[in-house]
């Protein structure tokens, strides 16, 4: 069985790229954990079934929206292909097919190649992933290609892409009924840098006040986690600002961004993207 699978802590891009690419390749889509609210909303809207959670099955794998081992299935010997928009950090034993481009989402890469073949459902899923990853084109990871393809997809499914983007983000940002731990783990990536284990999470919000209200509880929970560094980006996507909560060597992280850490946090105006505005800066400091 051939499986298309996205990263741990699945987001809309990881899930939708797996669903669509599996359908295009006669393979099966899997996810690495439960869906977040935003992805659930997108799948429901376009009538897609949530993929099954991966339990170790499969003979051949196509990795989408990730390539680093910390975020993956563990065994690279069965990986035959990778489609991604993150920096490459792998070594393989044999030659495999790799398609990586610095675009706003993995789904943009898939749409670029297979636009004419896409059904309305697939077009809706791909559009959702582009809007999600680019934070409705506000993230600095957004490219002209993302905007162009989203526009064409919007036309294809007769949807105003910006309006739908805000609707999708709104559905995903609700913290209602979530525990502090669930909020921290809503969207996270793990990295190992200089032998130190990093957890970098992100919580998107329409107003920082809501998350800053529970800053103390968040920090208490973050301290309990088994990492050298636990970082949590509280990102206000409307006012385009991130409050970064830091557990670990706080001074060292503060220095990365030229800030003095106060009560375990720093304010980062215009920072929206973990991939482009946080991870590379930290990687540089720890290499
Ligand atoms: Mg992703
Ligand atoms: Mg992505
Ligand atoms: Mg993301």
Largest CA distance in the chain: 52
Q: What is the pLDDT of residues 66-79, one digit of tens each?
A: 999 889 998 899 99
Q: How far away, in angstroms, is 216 Cα from ligand 2 center?
A: 30
pLDDT of 93 reads 87
Instruction: Kindly report the backbone phi and psi dihedral angles of residue 240, in degrees, each rounded to the nearest multiple of 5, phi listed first.
Output: 50, 65
pLDDT of 139 reads 97
Q: How far away, in angstroms, is 11 Cα from ligand 3 center?
A: 6
Q: How far away, in angstroms, is 223 Cα from ligand 3 center?
A: 23
pLDDT of 55 reads 97
The structure tokens listed for 40 are 């659930």
Q: How far away, in angstroms, is 89 Cα from ligand 1 center?
A: 15
Q: How far apart are CA 259 and CA 257, in angstroms?
A: 5
Closest ligand to Cα 187: 3
pLDDT of 163 reads 97
Q: How far away, in angstroms, is 135 Cα from ligand 3 center?
A: 9
In 27-76, at which residue ranges do the beta strands (DSSP E only) sit? Answer: 28-31, 52-53, 60-64
Q: How far away, in angstroms, is 15 Cα from ligand 1 center?
A: 8
pLDDT in tens, the chain (287 residues): 999 999 999 999 999 999 999 999 999 999 999 999 999 999 999 999 999 999 999 999 999 999 998 899 988 999 999 999 999 988 888 999 999 999 999 999 999 999 999 999 999 999 999 999 999 999 999 999 999 999 999 999 999 999 999 999 999 999 989 999 999 999 999 999 999 999 999 999 988 998 999 999 999 999 999 999 999 999 999 999 999 999 999 999 999 999 999 999 999 999 999 999 999 999 999 98
Q: Which domains, ranges and CATH numbers included, belong to the chain?
A: 2-171 (3.90.1640.10), 180-286 (3.10.310.20)
pLDDT of 91 reads 87
Q: How far apart are CA 29 and CA 19, in angstroms?
A: 5
């Amino acid at each position: 069985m051939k499986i298309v699978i996205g990263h741990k802590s699945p987001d809309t891009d990881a899930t939708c790229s797996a669903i669509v690419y599996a359908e295009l390749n006669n393979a099966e889509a899997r996810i690495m954990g439960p869906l977040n609210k935003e992805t659930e909303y997108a799948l429901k809207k376009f009538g897609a079934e949530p993929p099954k959670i991966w339990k170790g099955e499969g003979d051949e794998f196509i990795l989408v929206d990730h390539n680093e081992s910390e975020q993956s299935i563990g065994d690279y010997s069965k990986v035959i292909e990778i489609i991604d928009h993150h920096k490459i950090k792998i070594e393989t034993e044999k030659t495999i097919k790799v398609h990586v481009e610095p675009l706003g989402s993995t789904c943009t890469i898939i749409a670029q190649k297979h636009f004419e073949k896409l059904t309305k459902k697939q077009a809706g899923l791909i559009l959702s992933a582009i809007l999600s990853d680019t934070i409705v084109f506000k993230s600095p990871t957004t490219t002209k290609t993302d905007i162009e393809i989203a526009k064409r997809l919007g036309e294809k499914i007769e949807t105003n892409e910006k309006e739908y983007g805000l609707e999708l983000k709104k559905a995903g940002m609700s913290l209602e009924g979530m525990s502090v731990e669930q909020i921290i783990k809503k969207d996270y990536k793990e990295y190992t840098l200089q032998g130190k284990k990093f957890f970098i999470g992100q919580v998107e919000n329409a107003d920082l006040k809501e998350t800053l209200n529970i800053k103390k509880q968040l920090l208490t929970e973050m301290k309990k986690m088994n990492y050298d560094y636990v970082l949590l980006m509280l990102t206000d996507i409307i006012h385009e600002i991130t409050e970064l909560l830091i557990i670990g060597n706080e001074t060292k992280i503060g220095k990365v961004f030229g800030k003095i850490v106060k009560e375990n946090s720093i304010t980062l105006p215009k920072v929206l993207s973990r991939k482009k505005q946080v991870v590379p800066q930290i990687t540089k400091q720890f290499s």
